[in-house]
Amino acid sequence: MQKLVVIGAGMATGRMLEHLRDTDPGAYEITLFNAEPRGNYNRIMLSPVLSGEKSFAEIVTHDEGWYADNAITCRFGEKVLSVDTERKVVTGEQGEVAYDKLVFGTGSSAFIIPVPGHDLPGVVAFRDLEDTTAMTEAAGKPGARAVVIGGGLLGLEAAAALRLRGMEVTVLHIASHLMERQLDPAAGYLLKKDLEKRGIEVLLEASTKEIVGNGRAEQVNLADGTELPCDIVVMAVGIRPAVTLAQEAGVACGRAIKVDAQMRTETPDVFAVGECVEFEGNLFGLVAPLYDQAKVLAKTLLGEDTSFAMRELSTKLKVTGCDLFSAGDFAEGEGREDIVFRDPARGIYKRLVIEDERLIGAVMYGDTADGNWFFGLIKDGTDISEMRETLIFGPAYQGGSSVDPLSAVAALPPDAEICGCNGVCKGDIVAAIEGGATDLGAVRAITKASNSCGTCTGLVEQVLSVTLGDDFVLPTAQPVCGCTDLTHEDVRRLIKAQELKSQEAVWQELGWKTRNGCHVCRPAVNFYLLADWPLDYRDDPQSRFVNERNHANIQKDGTYSVMPRMWGGMTTPEELIAIARAAEKYGATVKVTGGQRIDLLGIRKEDLPAIWHDLNEAGMVSGHAYTKGLRTVKTCVGSDWCRFGTQDSTGLGIKLEKKLWGSWTPHKVKLGVSGCPRNCAEATCKDVGIICVDSGYQIGVGGAAGMDVKEVERLVDVKTEAEAIEWTTAFVQLYREHAKYLDRPYKWVAKVGLDWVKEVLSDAAERTALVERFDVSQSVYQKDPWAERAEPEAARRFQPLADLTAQAAE
């Protein structure tokens, strides 16, 4: 009888031995080595063992009896030291064994990130029973904390299991969404939300700096300074094929042991199977192809003709309650189309990717019942042109349907705040409706909802509609764009009420019809998010118009204009010299603007970082002449020089500009401060215009001098400069928090009414709170964007990615 030696008792070799014994039990005399002191078990079921849902005994696939019945010599707990392919012997710790055929099933080992402290006790992988046991023990301590590094399949299963055992769990993930290989950002967002719901903290874009502790892992420190105390660290960042033994034996390896479609290595009579193989450049981590390989290898060993082929794979996460499915290819390539379906009320997201009338990829979250049907379409390459319209609804559905535009409102819990001004929750409104209020006026009268600034009117109407059904006819309001049925006001209120803090959250929870918005809605949503959640949301340059992304104004010929800030319209000879030098150096046309500054026109994009650097050197910063943000504060010379000046208008203008610069607003904001009612600074047609008088300061708001011309309306008269600054800041913040994107203050004031603005701002506590919120936002956004982008790393992005003109001419 021929001698077969198998190194490694994993899932692939276990399955291979089964096939071998089932087909021809007498073909080989078998010796099975395993470094772990046990036989084959179902490694992918370690998650339920870790969570306590299963015992180890339940996941053993081959027990002692099986090996005995099949006459397999087991050398468990014994490492193989070397393989001699010339003499055809394997040397273990207990001695040699000869083979006629040899199978490498050495599997893989966990990849451990080589950060300082990675070798401390208490840092474990999640590969075998020893790791599982170590984690279970750590979970035994009351209030124990675990940090899981890696937000992929394995890491999340470990995190969920440890949480089930009662640990406080934090998951660190380096990418911007969880399971980025299997999921798209939308599904990743829903998964994160579900995990957070069950008490797991998830930190994205988290880079581990070190693991520290006295003799064992006690704390993980991140690159951004975050410190996470812990009792155990689980590294689940990936696996590496274990191929050292094969390499030392001279078996040809690439990233793993190279095999052909019959699972043969390049060395005669030596085979390999499982996670340790490389086939046509592919490595394997999921179980389905490993079982295919096991079958092929068994047949090869029995002299049957067969070959292994790659096939499409699908992924499911084994975490109870997190229902996700992904299959095929849903990212790369040209010529593809998406079908997206979202149902915020039920937390469902589905995306299908279609190419050449075939389904090539699918991602689903929340409802994966049709997953296998879609997977079948992908595998079979079915022509889907006939069912395209209804495809996303699955096999049971014919005829098409549309998402209920009210589902976002229907999904709100009763305690969600609808009217921010009067603190009215959805439950209050529903109660009023059930109590007999069947129209907007009645709801307003009873609850005061939408009775103040009015921006929540649309939402109140939708609550009416959801509650009353067909008895209420919804007035049609103008939606933001084709991506949604909601109005700007609805979106703003829902971002606040549902605490939506990311674009993905908005797309999903508000049922966006597109993958990531369009050029109309995305800049608006980006602004709403950063205005409402300055500390949680990070500004997305890719959701901004070119000027705000490049921090200069694009001109019709594709060049840019550059305008440094001149505080309150004041400058110095040194600044003027620097501006003149820069104009000469970069070939600029020089224009004096209406906002009391100097514009340099005709700058090439490639030169922007350099001219910014030069202007920065002279102490100047960006004038934000390109933003929906604070532009200029125009002043007159005031009491410093003018014989009519009543107050220091220049000084106040400079103070206001220093306070407000860098802030993002719904549209541009221009201020003016005049030193006397002669109004040389033309303050009375600004968004905020201040007229200095003997008795103090008259603050007017809502002026315009563009397509519309309009004089400011008086907001308040105050006595001191400090009060003028406080009222102005509070007004700007109120505008930032409530206005529709691209409404100038005069349009917004007209909508909400100056009386309401006055009422809010006349409350001293409210003013203080508004100024405080403004200051919080400024702590993030009051930075010179030019200085940041003049740095070499950022400046590189202003150059072409490549220049092929020389190459192409060859």
What count of residues does the chain have?
810
Return the ∠ at Cα 465 (arms to 461 and 471), rounded to 5°.
120
Query: Closest Cα to residue 13, out of 270, 361, 297?
Result: 297
Minimum Å gap between C-beta 495 and another protein is 19
What is the rounded CA–CA span in Å between residue 727 and residue 804? 56
Work out the burial of residue 519: count CB atoms within 10 Å of its CB; fewer than 13 is exposed, 13-18 middle, 19 or more buried: exposed
Contact indicator for 81, 92 with CB cutoff of 8 Å? yes
793 lies in the site for another protein, by CB under 8 A: no
Contact between 802 and another protein (CB under 8 A)? yes
Binding track, positions 557-596, relative to another protein; x by CB under 8 A: -x--------------------------------------
Nearer to another protein, 672 or 785 (CB): 785
Stretch that binds another protein, among 335-343, 457-465, 639-647, 722-730 (CB under 8 A): 335-343
Taking CA atoms, 446 is separated from 409, 425, 434, 449, 510, in Å, by: 20, 13, 12, 8, 28
Instruction: Using CB under 8 A, pick the residue from 119, 266, 337, 389 that binds another protein.
Output: 337
Q: Write each residue from 172 to 201 as x if it is in contact with another protein (CB under 8 A), else as -, in one continuous string.
A: --------x---x-----------------
Residue type, 23: T
The answer to whether residue 643 forms part of the interface with another protein (CB under 8 A) is no
Judged by CB under 8 A, does residue 454 bind another protein?
Answer: no
CB of 331 to another protein, least distance (A): 5
In angstroms, give the least distance from the CB of 187 to another protein. 13
Interaction pattern, residues 116-145, with another protein; x per rule: CB under 8 A: ------------------------------
441 belongs to the binding site for another protein (CB under 8 A): no
Comparing C-alpha atoms, which of 289, 284, 378 is closest to residue 325? 378
The distance of closest approach from Cβ of residue 522 to another protein in the complex, given in angstroms and rounded to an integer, is 6
Q: For residues 10 and 43, is the Cβ–Cβ distance under 8 A?
A: yes
CA distance 69 to 49: 27
332, 470, 755, 793: residue in contact with another protein (rule CB under 8 A): 332
Q: Is 516 in the site for another protein (CB under 8 A)?
A: yes
Q: Where are the alpha helices (DSSP H) in 635-744?
A: 638-641, 649-660, 721-738
**Residue 452 DSSP symbol:** S
Which of 677, 684, 568, 714 is closest to 631 using CA atoms?
A: 568
Report the nearest approach of another protein to the CB of residue 122 (Å).
33
CB of 282 to another protein, least distance (A): 13
Q: Closer CB to another protein, residue 556 or residue 643?
A: 556
Task: Please report whether residue 205 would count as binding another protein according to CB under 8 A.
Answer: no
Closer to another protein by CB, 218 or 607: give it: 607
Identify the helix (H) or strand (E) that includes residue 546.
helix 546-550
CB 292 within 8 A of CB 298: no
- Report the candidate in 325, 240, 316, 328 with the shortest Cα–Cα distance to residue 47: 316
Distance separating alpha carbons of residues 91 and 107, to the nearest angstrom: 19
Site string for another protein, 525-554 (x = CB under 8 A): ---------------xxxxxxx--xx---x
Our CB check for another protein shows the closer of 526 and 639 to be 526
Closest contact distance (angstroms) between CB of 184 and another protein is 7
Judged by CB, which is closer to another protein: 549, or 751? 549
Residue 515 binds another protein (CB under 8 A): yes
For another protein, the closer of residues 312 and 766 by Cβ is: 312
Of 130, 338, 617, 640, the one binding another protein (CB under 8 A) is: 338
Contacts of 676 (CB under 8 A, 6+ apart): 642, 644, 645, 646, 691, 692, 693
Nearest distance from C-beta of residue 189 to another protein, angstroms? 14
Minimum CB distance to another protein, residue 777 (Å): 23
Least Å from the CB of residue 349 to another protein: 15
Q: Does residue 701 contact residue 712 with C-beta atoms inside 8 Å?
A: yes
The smaller minimum CB distance to another protein, of residues 305 and 793, is found at 793
Least distance between another protein and beta carbon 284 (Å):
18
Site for another protein contains 381 (CB under 8 A): no
Nearest approach, Cβ of residue 632 and another protein (Å): 23
Tokens of 133: 């046991």
Q: Quick check: 373 binds another protein (CB under 8 A)?
A: no
Pairing label, strands 669-674, 630-635: parallel
- Exposed, middle or buried: residue 414 (CB in 10 Å: 0-12, 13-18, 19+)? exposed
Q: For residues 661 and 652, give the distance between their C-alpha atoms in angstroms, rounded to a whole number.
A: 14
# chain residues binding another protein, by CB under 8 A? 40
Looking at the Cβ atoms of 165 and 515, the one nearer to another protein is 515
Q: What are phi and psi of 762, to 5 degrees?
A: -75, -10
| Burial class of residue 549 in the structure, from the number of CB atoms within 10 Å of its CB (0-12 exposed, 13-18 middle, 19+ buried) | middle
Minimum CB distance to another protein smaller for 289 or for 361: 361
Closer residue to another protein, CB minimum distance, 501 or 513: 513
Q: Indicate whether 469 belongs to the interface with another protein (CB under 8 A).
A: no
Q: Is the CB of 694 or the CB of 793 nearer to another protein?
A: 793
For the beta sheet containing 123-124, the strands, ordered from the edge strand earlier in sequence to the opposite edge, are 123-124, 232-235, 145-149, 168-172, 200-203
Which residue from 396, 707, 709, 801 is in contact with another protein, where contact means CB under 8 A?
Answer: 801
Q: Cβ closer to another protein: 709 or 801?
A: 801
Q: Does 333 bind another protein (CB under 8 A)?
A: yes
CB-nearer residue toward another protein: 413 or 541: 541
Min dist. Cβ of residue 235 to another protein (A)? 23
CB nearer to another protein: pick between 4 and 529: 529
Separation CA 215–CA 230 (nearest Å): 13
Stretch that binds another protein, among 206-214, 511-519, 579-587, 589-597 (CB under 8 A): 511-519
Alpha-carbon gap, residue 447 to 464, rounded angstroms? 13
- Determine which residue in the list 65, 268, 469, 800 makes contact with another protein, applying CB under 8 A: 800
Contact assessment for residue 78 and residue 92, using Cβ atoms and an 8 Å cutoff: yes
CA distance 726 to 728: 6
Contacts of 594 (CB under 8 A, 6+ apart): none
Whole-angstrom distance, CA of residue 244 vs CA of residue 235: 21
402 vs 807, which CB is nearer to another protein?
807
Q: Rounded to an integer, what distance in angstroms lies between the CA atom of residue 567 and that of residue 81? A: 75
Q: What DSSP string describes 268-307?
A: TTEEE-STTEEBTTB---SHHHHHHHHHHHHHHHTT----
- When asked if residue 614 is in the footprint of another protein (CB under 8 A), the reply is no
What's CA 608's distance to the chain center, in Å? 30
Interface pattern 747-786 for another protein (x via CB under 8 A):
----------------------------------------
Tokens of 703: 């002026």
* Stretch of residues binding another protein (CB under 8 A), selected from 431-439, 448-456, 465-473, 793-801: 793-801
Residue position matching structure tokens 């030392």? 248
517, 569, 662, 703: which one contacts another protein (CB under 8 A)? Answer: 517
Which residue, 311 or 556, has its beta carbon nearer to another protein?
A: 556
791 binds another protein (CB under 8 A): no
What does residue 119 show for φ and ψ, rounded to 5 degrees? -95, 5
Closest Cα partner for 475 from 501, 457, 499? 457
Contacting positions for another protein (CB under 8 A): 180, 184, 331-338, 514-519, 522-523, 540-546, 549-550, 554, 556, 558, 797, 800-805, 807-809
